[in-house]
Amino acid sequence: MSDYLPDEVVREILHRLPAKSLIRFRCVSKSWNYLITSSAFIDSHLTQSLSHPSNSNKLIFRHCDIAAKVEHYKFIHNDSSFDQYQNVEFPLTNCFRLIGSVNGLFCLIQDEQFILWNPCIRKFITLPRDYDHVLSRSVFGFDARTNDYKVVRIAFPYTPKPLLVEVYSLKEGSWRRKAGAAASLLPGITRDLSCRRDAFINGAVHFGVRDCINTPRLKVGPSVLSFDLSDEVFHMTALPKFGAKTDYDIFGFRGSLSVVYIELVDNKRSCFIWVMKECGVVKSWIKLYTINLTGEFRSVLGFQKNGHIFMQAGLGKNARLSSYDPQSQQLKNLGFYGWLSYSCVHYYVENLVLLDKPVLFDKQNGELSRWVGSRKRKFWVESEDERVRDKETICKLKKAMVDQQEERVRDKETICKLKKAMVHQQEEIATLKTEMTSLKSQMATLKSLSLLVQQWNNQVENTSSGVGDVGSYLG
């Protein structure tokens, strides 16, 4: 991959680069292009991006121009200052609807055609239409266990019939009908029209439902129908009790299921925010905040990570996106105006998802998934800051390569010194071996001499003993 850097070092450096820079760096070499477009690198780069705090405070804000029937989207670069943003040009020109977004990947629908779009790499794919064309609710989510993005369609019947559940898997590239999961639910479960917003929270998609046959409608509170994207099974959770004619929205609040509902009491509109502390435990519902919707307050649009609440303040064209601090009860104008009745705010992370997906052609419907964007569009023009960051990154890579080359030169010199030392040691070992051989020869000689001396001593002792015997005899 590189003549100067080990492959693992290059991967570690590339993992830390922004997605837009990686798109351009694919042109460096075939090996870089192969690495950057691999599924394993795309998954690990997303994990790295999600772990960095500065990459997870970006927002996308949707608001509508009802008169012109146009939807507007803005990328907000910091969820605390809101002073930097860019207008987003979606790949569709006609009327479309945003189903949801996860980690910077968006799911849109236009004329019953589902589309997955990654604005960071300017690419979208159209999903196959081999699903039942019936009135349904759809939610977009992410299965963290398999790193798979899924679209869930549920057709709620208004008669006691089983639900129709279909799941699209991006990794599999096809729709699947979940008849077994639908059969596990009691007949009569249908969509609750009072629920205006479904949501993806903590690995599951959540729908507002009610029981239309087993219990009287107005005597039982609505429930949340949750579909786990990993196990692909349903769970039912009863909601806190509130008025039968109350509209409510499902949100995620710091990873927990949250329900926001507005109730009219004594001609005064109040907003109640409930949070489920323990997943699936009905008794863990707590009323977190109560907001009086008199004056400027109109509705809740979402939650910030610091606990503040996105709210609509004002009406009509004068409506504005605001941030409400429930502790100090202060409202801050964020500087975005227009019709906010159908607005929403989502967090997003720049990523490379869809980069490894081929350009597909749907023969049945004659539609092509294609690259989106023009260099003339303001949103896609490379900024001066991005060019500076790319130059700095290239300089760092060059410096790292030079340092690595110098280290290799030093390593070669060290190896030569070690080789010379080894040769010198080998010569010393050979000398020692020669001396050892000489010593062994001398030891053998000494041993032979020692044996001769021992023999002589024995002969001398024998001789002395013989002379003594003769003397005694003569005496």
CA neighbor of 182 nearest in space, from 238, 130, 234, 236: 234
What pLDDT is stored for residue 47 in this prediction?
A: 86
Distance CA 208, CA 299 (A): 18
Q: Spell out, as residue ranges, where the chain has pLDDT lower than 50.
A: 216-220, 360-383
Helices (H) and strands (E) in the chain, counts: 6, 28
Residues 6+ apart with CB under 8 A from 154: 136, 137, 138, 163, 164, 165, 207, 225, 227
Distance CA 116, CA 100 (A): 10
CB 108 within 8 A of CB 95: no
Helix, strand, or coil (residue 26): coil
Categorise residue 202: left if φ over 0, alpha if ψ from -120 to 50, beta otherwise. Answer: left
What pLDDT is stored for residue 219 in this prediction?
A: 45
Structure tokens at 338: 């227009």
What pLDDT is stored for residue 362 in this prediction?
A: 42
Helix, strand, or coil (residue 456): helix
Residues 6+ apart with CB under 8 A from 291: 270, 271, 272, 273, 297, 300, 309, 324, 326
CB 105 within 8 A of CB 129: no
What pLDDT is stored for residue 275 in this prediction?
A: 93
What pLDDT is stored for residue 141 in this prediction?
A: 94
CA atoms within a 13 Å half-sphere pointing along the CA-CB vector of 323: 15
pLDDT tens digits for range 231-266: 999 988 888 877 655 788 899 888 899 999 888 777
